[in-house]
């Protein structure tokens, strides 16, 4: 998720309470079920440009007012349509013609394509119990480092293996492999008040030693 995107709502206030439904159904309407099936079938068929990372990035590129006013599975439909068009599976004209009306899609990606994914790393730099800090930066493209933990100190509590860095995968034709960690953050460090700790899964390039500059 791009750090400054409207979708990155973790820790933000003013949006009202979370509504909890008793016996909430998986889908509230049949069109939501069809939207889910369309997305998953397109993904499994290899038709979504950039895979699930590209799917997420397409949601992130929705117009902010549209994103906030639209339901969850409309985000899925928008991202699927955007990815199919950007991947050359269909054209905007074909989609509009089939629907009989213009169908809005997400904005174009702002981040440039990467020619080199950078070096892969398989040996973890940090160990369990080590104090780290999340780097604070503002990329134009996709990232899985939530805004509310950027610049914040935490403790590595688990090593989760090595995986493709989504920031790179979405913007490059090749992958960069890195260790991933579960990092524990204390509520006082995140929100300035006592509360339950938060655990966030993070790639190694998001982290730096705790005593390093948060703006490095």
Higher pLDDT, 114 or 178: 178
Residues 135, 205: one domain?
Answer: yes
> Could you read off the pLDDT of 71-125 as tens digits, one per residue?
999 999 999 999 999 999 999 999 999 999 999 999 998 888 889 999 999 999 9
Residues 96 and 170 in one domain: no
Same domain for 103 and 205, yes or no, is no
Is residue 216 over pLDDT 60?
no
Whether 121 is in a domain gets the answer no
User: Is the same domain home to 151 and 81?
Assistant: no
CATH number at residue 168: 2.30.30.50
Both 100 and 182 in one domain: the answer is: no
Q: Which residues contact 191 (CB under 8 A, 6 or more apart)?
A: 11
Domain final residue pick, 79, 109, 139: 109
pLDDT per residue as tens digits for the range 82-95: 999 999 999 999 99
Positive or negative CA dihedral for 187, 124, 121, 179?
negative
Q: Are residues 12 and 62 in the same domain?
A: yes
210 touches 153 (CB < 8 A)? yes
**What's the number of domains the chain is made of?**
2
Q: What is the pLDDT of residues 150-175, one digit of tens each?
A: 999 999 999 999 999 988 888 888 89
Average pLDDT, the chain: 90
Domain with 194 in it: 131-209
Residues 42 and 83 in one domain: yes
Domain boundary among 48, 76, 109: 109
Residue 149 has pLDDT above 80, yes or no: yes
Residue 187 CA: distances (Å) to CA of 80, 149, 190: 36, 11, 5
**Per-residue pLDDT averaged across 13-17, rounded?**
77
């Amino acid at each position: 998720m791009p750090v400054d995107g409207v979708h990155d709502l973790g820790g933000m206030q003013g949006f009202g309470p979370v509504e909890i439904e008793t016996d909430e159904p998986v889908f509230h309407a049949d069109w939501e079920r069809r939207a889910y099936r369309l997305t998953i079938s397109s993904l499994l068929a290899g038709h979504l440009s950039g895979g699930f990372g590209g799917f997420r990035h397409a949601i992130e590129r929705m117009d902010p007012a549209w994103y906030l006013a639209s339901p969850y599975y409309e985000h899925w439909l928008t991202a699927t349509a955007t990815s199919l068009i950007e991947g050359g599976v269909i054209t905007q004209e074909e989609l509009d013609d089939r629907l009989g009306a213009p169908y809005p899609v997400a904005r174009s990606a702002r981040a440039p394509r990467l020619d080199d994914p950078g070096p892969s790393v398989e040996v973890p730099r940090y160990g369990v119990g080590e104090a780290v800090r999340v780097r604070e930066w503002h990329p134009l493209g996709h990232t899985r480092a939530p805004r509310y933990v950027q610049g914040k100190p935490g403790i590595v509590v688990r090593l989760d293996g090595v995986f493709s860095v989504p920031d790179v995968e979405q913007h490059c034709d090749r992958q960069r492999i890195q260790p991933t960690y579960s990092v524990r953050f204390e509520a006082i460090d995140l929100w300035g008040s006592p509360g339950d700790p938060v655990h966030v899964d993070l790639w190694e390039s998001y982290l730096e030693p705790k005593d390093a500059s948060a703006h490095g």
